[in-house]
Amino acid sequence: MTRIALLLAGIAPFAFAAPAGAQPVDHSMHGAQPASEPAPEAPACTPEHAAMGHCTLDSAPQEGTPDAGMKAMDHGAPASDPDCPPDHASMGHCTPKQTPAHDMTSMPEAAEASGTDLPPGDAPAPPPPGDWYADRIFPKGEMEHSRHEMMVENGAQKVGFVSLNLAEYQARKGRDGFRWEGEAWYGGDINRLTLKSEGETAFGEGIESGEVQALYSRAIGPYFNAQAGVRQDFGHGPDRTYATVGFEGLAPYWFEVEGALFLSNKGDVLARLEGSYDQRITQKLILQPMAEVNFALQDVRESGIGSGLSGFELGLRLRYEVVKEFAPYVGVEWGRKVGDTARFARAAGEDASGVSFVMGVKAWF
């Protein structure tokens, strides 16, 4: 027992001295830090803490560390996977899709040459599909018929149209009358068969002058049609048949224009130019000025037409659209014959100019 007591008494100072030596000693009062004391280590920044914004991962982790391994894995992954964002991937919620190495080398070039960044060229368009899925379920003949009808209804359909531009009573000095002007056509967007007619009568005297035109009309642009055909005159003057070429369409600023050149079976050459404009006062009330000018290459005494500018008409009509297809109107029209045409009219006892007050209707269907 005596020996055991002496042994315990000998090792007791060392047991109490070890904890005291392990505690750091503050040497700041001496003005210097001991060189052998290591700097405290910063806590590690795990990917989970980095994803939650608590810290920032080292941009260049040392080789052999877990972060370096993660960086190496990220290098082989796509830069951005919309189905698996980096923060979700770092927390283990999903796994980004891996992209083969050869695809990574072509990604920048493919991105630069996609969509509207592609260089212009004249490569032919790809052929339309020939393996219709519906043919696997329904009879092929019926599907071919359905596809044909679909194409007809979406651009190749035939449409008919009838327009009565003028149908009016004219109150004129000494002799009232009636005037008409209209057209009808049937066809598609490009090719049409067109019929036009216009003329005027004097009450109690029958038709003073009238004409009918049968024309082939073809679109030559988004707003204009070229026309060719024949014209037949009837009325008090001599009957004439004309070969006709002309145009009609919508000029800039919404002017409706129409022109034609006529060559008769007697060699007479005539020309006509018309124009009108719809000025909307309200959604239903429309003021329409219009003008018509006629020319002749030579005198046509049988018809009372002189060479050069033979005459013109100016009109102003105010219409009210009850519906788009039906619009009554009132207005005034002034016409004048000039040059030799005026001289022929005076020789026949007629006035060279006149004013008419008109009342009528415009309709189409």
Q: Using CA atoms, how far apart are residues 244 and 261, in angstroms rounded to an integer? A: 6
pLDDT in tens, 147-157: 888 888 887 78
Asked if the structure places residue 230 within a domain, the reply is yes
The residue ranking higher by pLDDT, 31 or 310, is 310
Asked if the structure places residue 296 within a domain, the reply is yes
Asked if the structure places residue 247 within a domain, the reply is yes
pLDDT in tens, 278-318: 999 999 999 999 999 999 999 999 889 999 999 999 999 99
Asked if the structure places residue 114 within a domain, the reply is no
Asked if the structure places residue 90 within a domain, the reply is no
Asked if the structure places residue 344 within a domain, the reply is yes
Question: pTM for this structure?
Answer: 0.62
pLDDT in tens, 155-199: 778 899 999 999 999 998 878 999 999 999 999 989 999 999 999
Q: Which structural domain range is residue 232 located in?
A: 167-364
Number of separate domains in the chain: 1
Asked if the structure places residue 282 within a domain, the reply is yes
What value does the mean pLDDT of the chain take? 81
Asked if the structure places residue 265 within a domain, the reply is yes
What is the CATH number for 305?
A: 2.40.160.40
Q: What is the pLDDT of residue 41?
A: 54
| 267-280: average pLDDT | 97
